[in-house]
Amino acid sequence: MQRRTFLAAGGQAVLWAGLIGDLAHSAQALSASDIAGSDPDLHLLRRIGFGPTSSELTRVRSIGRAAYIEEQLKASDLAADLGATALYPLIATTGPAIFASTAAGFTIDLHILNLQSAMLYRALFSKAQLHEVMVDFWNDHFNTYIRKNPIPLKIDFDRNVIRANALGNFKTLLRASVRSAEMLYFLDNWMNRKGAINENYARELLELHTLGKSGGYTEADMKALALILSGLGFIRDLPLAAIAYSAVQFDAAQHDTSEKTFLGQRFAAGGGEDEIDRALDLILDHPGTAQHIAHKLCVRFVGDEPPTPLVDRVAAAFTSSGGDIKTMLRLIFNSSEFAASNGAKFKRPLDAMIGAMRACGANPFDVLNTSLFGLPIAAPNGTLFTGLKQAGHEPFAWVPPDGYPDRASYWANTNSMLYLQKFLVGLVEGLAFGRILANPLQVLSGTSVAVGVVDAQTPRKAVDNAIANLLFTTLPAAANQALLNFVAQGADPDAVMPAETLEPRVKGLVFVLLSSPWFLTR
């Protein structure tokens, strides 16, 4: 990954190109770990959630990292959940109700937008940040494209499969996904029946969800698993669909009852639904599954190419704990490899945009509104959703079954950076409606998000506040001086500057910091 890519890509940054170039020059002299810095508390917050805030940094420093990790492993946030449900009530819709309200295709977009917006709301405001990160992680791991099914059962899948098991046990999570109507539809197992075997789900269940591409199974194993899964579907046709749509059912008449051999074990002829559970037991007890899940967790939290010894220890923890997710995460966060991985990850658009809003202190009112001629209007999808869609990271919209990539090689490119910077321009130019509510007269002159972050009257204080509130760290002397020169522009950096002069410079300052490797490296 080229560090210049962080800063030099965006046409939206033309007004602040000189400052961007100065910071890029400073970054080029540093390694990624130097850019990330050596603060272990900040490092933990960059990985365990969607972005540090001053309150979370205070919390981890007051109770210690080990206690904070335990707190996050157990955390829930009822207020955030209730807020998301109140704002986006369709996320609570049951399968039959989803069928009744979308079967004609009239309101499917509203259902989808409710789910996507609720996901972003929780990621932004939930205090249970690790839970939200793991929800995102497992939704990628068990990816289903939200628009394949004309009846958006992704709502039920996210609620009852992913969210319910995100920090529980992987074995329970896998079994729930296997018996989910959304998964059975997305990977075509609802069409898998005796005499017309569909191998799609069996292949992805082994290759993506459990054993991995090199997990020790053969093509013959995959074909046998497809036979084992035959007859597993869900209620989807009237009249039963009206009262029980999405209920998973096993049709014994459509199950292949021939003799099979799967992962070295013989399945005698005449078997039924019990074959599915037996096969899942074999898959979950296979060392390849432990290794595959351990590797993916280490990629998410440690590095794109995680250290093999750590992966092996996490795999051993999977086996010894029977697939307990908390046990694996506890090992990762307390490992020496995690501590040494500063700067080894690059923020995807989702992490960067949500992290920018969290760092700027955006509140629910800011997120739910945007400006029209300087006045707030309702916009439930908002600029965050639009920015993510443009950057190619719209929630639940990845079409292949493998989920959004979690590697810098995919995201550190000109196109992604262009739309990230476009979003950041909109963020720093946008009004901070929460501040305006406290002082309604401010709407006449405007109070931007950037000004709210900095809240200063002199160039030096603006630079100091912006660095402290957005990056929670320090910058090299040359970068710091470049920022000060930009804001002061020849004036006394310690003298009070008129608000109309300072505000546009503060916007550029905040934009450049949020576009910089000091923010985008994690």
Instruction: Report the pLDDT averaged over residues 471-492.
Output: 94
User: What whole-number distance in Å separates Cα of residue 70 and Cα of residue 67?
Assistant: 5
User: What whole-number distance in Å separates Cα of residue 13 and Cα of residue 269?
Assistant: 67
By the 10 Å C-beta count (0-12 exposed, 13-18 middle, 19+ buried), 133 is classed as buried
Q: What is the pLDDT of residue 295?
A: 98
Whether pTM > 0.75 for this model: the answer is yes
Q: What is the pLDDT of residue 6?
A: 41
CB-CB contact of 270 with 250 (8 Å): no
Mean pLDDT score of the chain, rounded to an integer? 90
User: What whole-number distance in Å separates Cα of residue 68 and Cα of residue 45?
Assistant: 10
Q: Which residue type, as a one-letter code, is found at position 519?
A: F
Q: Which residue has the higher pLDDT, 409 or 13?
A: 409
Instruction: Report the pLDDT averaged over residues 334-352.
Output: 96
Long-range CB contacts (< 8 A, 24+ apart) of 220-227? 220/261, 221/262, 221/263, 223/197, 223/199, 224/260, 224/261, 224/262, 224/267, 225/262, 225/279, 226/192, 226/197, 226/198, 226/199, 226/201, 226/202, 227/197, 227/256, 227/258, 227/260
% of the chain surpassing 90 pLDDT: 75
Instruction: Report the pLDDT averaged over residues 378-406.
Output: 86
In tens, the pLDDT along 395-454 reads 999 999 999 999 999 998 888 888 998 888 888 887 776 666 666 665 555 678 888 889
In tens, the pLDDT along 135-162 reads 999 999 999 999 999 999 999 999 999 9
CB-CB contact of 259 with 269 (8 Å): yes
67 forms beta bridges with: none
As a whole number of Å, the CA-based R_g of the chain is 25
Instruction: Report the pLDDT averaged over residues 100-108.
Output: 78
CA angle 129, 132, 136 (to 5 degrees): 140
Q: What is the pLDDT of residue 103?
A: 79
CA distances from 369 to 111, 366, 374, 375 (A): 20, 5, 11, 9
Q: Which of 512, 505, 520 is nearest to 451 (CA)?
A: 505
CB-CB contact of 112 with 31 (8 Å): no
Is the preceding peptide bond at 239 cis, omega within 30 degrees of 0? Answer: yes
CB-CB contact of 435 with 495 (8 Å): no
Q: How many helices (H) and strands (E) does the chain have?
A: 33, 6
Which residues neighbour 264 within 8 Å (Cβ) at sequence distance 6 or greater?
none
- Residue 416 has φ and ψ, to the nearest 5°, of -60, -40
Q: What is the pLDDT of residue 141?
A: 98
CA angle 330, 331, 335 (to 5 degrees): 120
Q: What is the pLDDT of residue 264?
A: 96
265 forms beta bridges with: 262
